[in-house]
Amino acid sequence: MLCKGLLSRTQDTLGSGSARAFYKGELINELLECCNLHQLRKLRIIFEDEAARRAHFKKVSVVAFRSLMADVGVRSSLIEDYVRCDKESDLISYDLLLNEAIQEKELRNLQAATNLFNEMDVSRRGCQTQTNTVNFTVNPVLV
């Protein structure tokens, strides 16, 4: 009987952890689509201000979390799914979520800049000449 109860609680914990990870990934992806890097950093500052105003450490109220996420364009259904899986009390942690989103956005921006540079570097010399830059800026695909 004790083992059966322990097994059930373990399965519930694993299931909720799996759902939490899934919705966290979905929320990060949506933040990456809705926000540029500057907006994500600004959102983190807004969350930090909200947490400090309420004397909470890296946590905000669920109401504030919902409102701030909706303000940047995250779907309400996704916000609700995430809150349902991550809520420990009337507070929800934002720090790891936003840090991961910012890190991923920085990585994607770096990859985009690297790809752009590589497209411009037609001579494959690892540097840009004035001719390469001029030719690239008049490329009708980019204009």
Nearest to 28 by CA among 88, 100, 93, 76: 100
Nearest to 27 by CA among 111, 110, 100: 100
Q: Indicate which CATH number applies to the domain containing 77.
A: 1.10.238
Residue 136 within any structural domain of the chain? no
* pTM over the 0.75 mark: no
Residues forming beta bridges with residue 104, ordered by sequence position? none
Indicate left, alpha or beta for 55 from its phi (over 0: left) and psi (-120 to 50: alpha): left
pLDDT, tens digit, 9 for 90 and up, residues 1-50 = 444 443 344 344 444 568 888 999 999 999 999 999 999 999 999 999 99
- Give the domain extent around 42: 18-118
What's the pLDDT score for residue 130?
A: 67
Helix axes 95-120, 130-137, angle to 10 degrees: 110
What's the pLDDT score for residue 138?
A: 55
Residue 82 within any structural domain of the chain? yes
Q: What percent of the chain has pLDDT over 90?
A: 51
Domain count, the chain: 1
Nearest to 58 by CA among 90, 85, 91: 91
Residue 131 within any structural domain of the chain? no
